[in-house]
Structure 1
Amino acid sequence: MSELYALAAACRHAEEIKKSRFLAQAAPVAHAAEALAFVHDVADPTATHNCWAYRIGQDYRFNDDGEPGGTAGRPILQAIEGQGIDRAVVVVTRWYGGIKLGAGGLVRAYGGTAAECLRRAERQPIVAMARLVLHCEFAELALLKARLKDWSARIDNEDFDAGGVTLHIGLPATQAEMAIARIADLSRGRIQPTRLDLP
């Protein structure tokens, strides 16, 4: 599977095509509700059309907002996929300029404006993450926390109890097995992390 990228920040790109103005606005999103909120926030009610698409993993949606079926939302989605982008939403707003573009022209205008916006965007690789859970004694906590940065790991949750602390850790999947082995070594086998992301 080829590498996927997320947008590092929101971006925008404007073009004029046969007197119609097109404005593409894209943003990174983590879930569908966030994507739809972005669509709602940036859609211009004075524009002729606000067409959009998002892809978040296997979840995707698109909308032609009154343009002929298949001429706006789907080309925007294809631009997202064609750029290898995931976890993103793109809204392309059109202000009609009086010249009809035809179905092929609309596909090129919406898809092309979205693709150019994404081409110019700052992006970062999406890293597959693993999740570990482990329990350690208080005396081992400082050493463990010090080592986490060696594995590009972060603590997602800490639950303290009388015997110590349970840590939920997120780290790149490529580091997981090595981290599990190192934690077992550091604790002389007392700490046995469990992966939560595997079936």
Structure 2
Amino acid sequence: MLTLAEPVRAEVVVKKSRFIACVQPAAGRAQAQEVVAAMRAEHPGATHVCWALLAGGQSAANDDGEPSGTAGRPMLEVLRRQRLDGVLATVVRYFGGIKLGAGGLVRAYTDAVAQALLHAQKVPLQRTVRLALQVPYELEGLVRREAAAHGAELQQAAHAAAVVLVFTAPQDVAQALRARLDEIGQGLLRWDPG
């Protein structure tokens, strides 16, 4: 599976209608809906803002008033055919006054997303695991260095009676990282089960 490194836009004009496509990484439905709302705000005069999402088993397609099955689903199929995950495709349409028909709409939305994907940098999808633990102050630096050496990224640090650290680590190294931290922590680390 692949995902995208960063957002990419492309524009297609079909019989005077403008189709502005954006493909970008997205973690899930909540993030997708925020992006769609931002696109609506950015393009208040647009006739439609259609979208498709593939993210961690979540998929969604929205035609936003276009005839059923002519926008969102075809866009979703483009993402599936390219073996993408964690990706949102949005297409903003400005109606040009000429009706395209169902087939024309499917081709226009599909082409807009495909054009954006042509210029997108595709990267292997890396699944991550959340690791949260309490660490005595004297071990904080050592734990941070070891986590970084395993490719984990610090997401949160809170300092109270102990230091609470939250990391995201690549799924394929998470178990080894946890074992290594237990080893250097000598029984002083407390793992958050969540």
Which TM-score applies when normalising by structure 1? 0.79
Q: 1:112 to 1:154 in 2, by over 3 A?
A: same
* d(CA) in 1 for partners of 2:179, 2:95: 61
Shift of 1:194: 4.3
Any runs of at least 4 consecutive aligned residues in structure 1 with deviations exceeding 6 A, and if so which? none
* d(CA) in 1 for partners of 2:37, 2:158: 38
Tell me the residue number matched to 2:101. 102
Letter in 2 for 1:10: P
Q: Are 2:39 and 1:42 equivalent residues in the alignment?
A: yes
Tell me the residue number matched to 2:10. 13
* Aligned partner (choices 171, 174, 177) of residue 176 of structure 1: 174
Q: Deviations over 1:135-168 (max 9, x none)?
A: 4332222222222221011233334454x43433
Shift of 1:74: 0.9
Tell me the residue number matched to 1:69. 68
CA contact (8 A) 1:83 1:115 kept: no
Shift of 1:35: 1.9
Identity of aligned residues (%): 36
* d(CA) in 1 for partners of 2:9, 2:132: 40
SS at match of 1:61: strand
Q: Unaligned regions of 5+ residues in structure 1, if any?
A: none
Larger radius of gyration: 1
Tell me the residue number matched to 2:59. 60
Tell me the residue number matched to 2:124. 125
Which TM-score applies when normalising by structure 2? 0.81
* d(CA) in 2 for partners of 1:144, 1:123: 32
SS at match of 1:141: helix
SS at match of 1:146: helix
Shift of 1:195: 7.5
Q: Deviations over 1:28-81 (max 9, x none)?
A: 333433322322332334334332222332333322233221111111122222
Q: 1:34 to 1:134 in 2, by over 3 A?
A: closer
Q: Are 2:21 and 1:28 equivalent residues in the alignment?
A: no
Q: Deviations over 1:104-145 (max 9, x none)?
A: 222111112112212312343331112233343322222222
Q: Are 2:81 and 1:82 equivalent residues in the alignment?
A: yes
Equivalent pairs counted in the alignment come to 192
SS at match of 1:127: coil
SS at match of 2:111: helix
Q: 1:16 to 1:172 in 2, by over 3 A?
A: same
* d(CA) in 1 for partners of 2:91, 2:184: 53
Shift of 1:196: 4.1
CA contact (8 A) 1:26 1:89 kept: yes
* d(CA) in 2 for partners of 1:22, 1:101: 12
Q: 1:182 to 1:21 in 2, by over 3 A?
A: same
Q: 1:116 to 1:191 in 2, by over 3 A?
A: farther
* d(CA) in 2 for partners of 1:153, 1:132: 9
Q: Unaligned regions of 5+ residues in structure 2, if any?
A: none
Letter in 1 for 2:79: I
Q: What is the CA RMSD across the aligned residues, in angstroms?
A: 2.7
